[in-house]
Amino acid sequence: MMEKLKIGISIGDVNGIGLEIIIKTLADSKIFDYCTPIVYGHTKVASFYRRATEVNELNFNVINEASQALPKRANMINCWNEDVKIEPGVFNKEIGKYAFLSLERATNDLLAGNIDALVTAPINKDTIQSEEFNFPGHTEYLQHRGNAADSLMFLVSDTLRVGVVTGHIPIAKVSESITTEKILSKLRLMDASLRTDFCVRKPKIAVLGLNPHASDNGLIGNEEADTITPAIEEARSNDILAMGPYAADGFFANGTYLQFDAVLAMYHDQGLIPFKQIAFESGVNFTAGLSFVRTSPDHGTAFDIAGKNKASEISFREALFAAIHIVKHRRETAELNEHPLAFTKLSRDRD
């Protein structure tokens, strides 16, 4: 039996599918064998979505502090006092503040060590904007809160792991934002995460080109020769097994990604479109490079189906278990660093 971890859960946009997928996940009591979930939201909002999803058997244990969480229950911390007008599927700038209140309280507990990891339900990146939250998304906010110099948006599944050099920026700014130093930074984060968070002993990383056909030897742009290839060569000189640059279309179409432990894409859609096509229901968004563990499902608020009991909880459930496994792997790696002689047996068992 694994050690029970306290996993914090932020609810995302109140009018999205966040609480639907949270409730459907926690309705399976087997979850409590692996973790003690603590949802940061409000019981009245949860009750609305319990009725919408027809999950009547799930009752939240209301607590004031994470330390009060019961290990065999779904726990809830109320993050505000006022009543909220819930309108599933409605874009509402006023309601975005509740997504922030949930995220802020959960992040505070995460940084204080009151919970072991954070799983975030989808926010709407527009409605959540305020003086307190002026970030493109979760990744940038959590990097800021964790005082990390850099982070990596890392989409992971059983068959594919994809990170991106540039995240939530306009496509017109991608080329100017890609530098050899930035690619190197992401490769270092990816290599370290594969070793520590996923227990890959000798990570093999594919690097995609930016231009069609990876520029065809300079016929379609010079980023590959001037920026990407030097980063790959520098990474290899630092014992990071990076290869490429590969043309993205053929790389995914012919299954070359299966030969690698992870793929570094140059921009958001280059990596996320194939990832979601290949692993949409089981995919997880993990923020690598932080001192704490944060995961989320690999989809958005899905306003079009919110409140209709149509949302699948599979990706959220995978995100919950991914958070548990990554925390375990980090602690295991820390123990191995303290007791290196144990590494030989563990490696032999895994091989």
Residue 286: partners with Cβ closer than 8 Å, 6 or more residues away:
154, 155, 156, 193, 197, 293, 294, 295, 322, 326
Among the listed residues 117, 105, 53, the one whose alpha carbon sits nearest the alpha carbon of residue 76: 105
Per CATH, 1-148+290-311 and 150-285 having the same topology is answered yes
The residues spanned by each domain of the chain are: 1-148+290-311, 150-285
Among the listed residues 154, 220, 138, 222, the one whose alpha carbon sits nearest the alpha carbon of residue 187: 154
pLDDT tens profile 118-169:
999 999 999 999 999 999 999 999 999 999 999 999 999 999 999 999 988 9
The phi, psi pair for 182, rounded to 5°, reads -70, -40
Which residue stretches of the chain have pLDDT < 70?
A: 1-3, 339-351
Angle at 269 between CA 265 and CA 274, to 5 degrees: 75
Cα gap 77→61, rounded to integer Å = 9
Cα gap 97→300, rounded to integer Å = 17
Q: What is the pLDDT of residue 1?
A: 44
Q: Which two tokens stand for residue 166?
A: 């540039």
The superfamily (CATH) of domain 1-148+290-311 is: Isopropylmalate Dehydrogenase (3.40.718.10)
Write down the pTM of the prediction.
0.91
Q: What is the pLDDT of residue 199?
A: 94
Cα gap 6→109, rounded to integer Å = 11
The superfamily (CATH) of domain 150-285 is: Isopropylmalate Dehydrogenase (3.40.718.10)
Do 91 and 106 touch, CB atoms closer than 8 A? Answer: no
pLDDT tens profile 186-211:
999 999 999 999 999 999 999 999 99
- H or E stretch including 263? strand 262-265
On the question of a cis peptide bond just before residue 245, with omega within 30 degrees of 0, the verdict is: yes
The CA–CA distances, whole Å, from 295 to 7, 37, 42, 324 equal 11, 14, 21, 10
Q: What is the pLDDT of residue 348?
A: 47
Among the listed residues 8, 267, 277, 19, the one whose alpha carbon sits nearest the alpha carbon of residue 123: 19
Among the listed residues 123, 130, 90, the one whose alpha carbon sits nearest the alpha carbon of residue 10: 123
Cα gap 115→266, rounded to integer Å = 33
